[in-house]
Every structure is written in C-alpha cells, then in structure tokens.
C-alpha cells in the first residue's frame, strides 16, 4: 500500500495538494501542507490517484509517494 510524505522544507504553501486531495492534505499552523492522516499511514487505494496527482502538481516537489 502507498504512503504520502510531505517534505516541509520544499513546501511553499501554494495549496495545490489541498485542493486536489483534501482527503489527505491540509495546512498546518504555519500555512504549509501536511498529511492529515500521518506520514506513516497507509493510504486507502481510492485516494492514491489523487495523491499522485498532487505530487505531480506540486511546484516545490514536496510530496513523496512511497509504494
């Protein structure tokens, strides 16, 4: 199963991931994206395509999808 991690140092807070996949991504108190399920949580297969789209759309390359 897949997992999604956000590399905080790369995130610019543009909101692409939160708009593409709000089931997984949200903003933290600093205005940066985070995986609201936790970086080590296995993703439900139904959200994996949107998570991958979020990673591909991220201008800071801040999202890593591990399969």
Give the domains, in start order, of the chain with CATH numbers. 3-66 (3.30.70.20)
Nearest of 12, 25, 13 to residue 53 by alpha carbon: 25
* Separation between Cα atoms, residue 13 and residue 29, nearest integer Å: 11
How do residues 4-26 score in pLDDT, each as one tens digit?
Answer: 999 999 999 999 999 999 999 99
DSSP 3-state assignment of 46?
helix
Instruction: Confirm if 51 and 4 have CB atoms less than 8 A apart.
Output: yes
pLDDT for position 12: 98
pLDDT for position 28: 96
pLDDT for position 39: 92
């Amino acid at each position: 199963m897949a997992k999604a991690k956000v590399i905080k140092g790369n995130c610019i807070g543009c909101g692409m991931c939160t708009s593409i996949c709000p089931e997984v991504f949200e903003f933290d108190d600093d205005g940066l994206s985070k995986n609201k399920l936790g970086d080590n949580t296995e993703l439900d297969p139904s959200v994996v395509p949107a998570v991958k789209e979020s990673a591909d759309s991220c201008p800071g390359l801040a999202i890593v999808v591990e399969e």
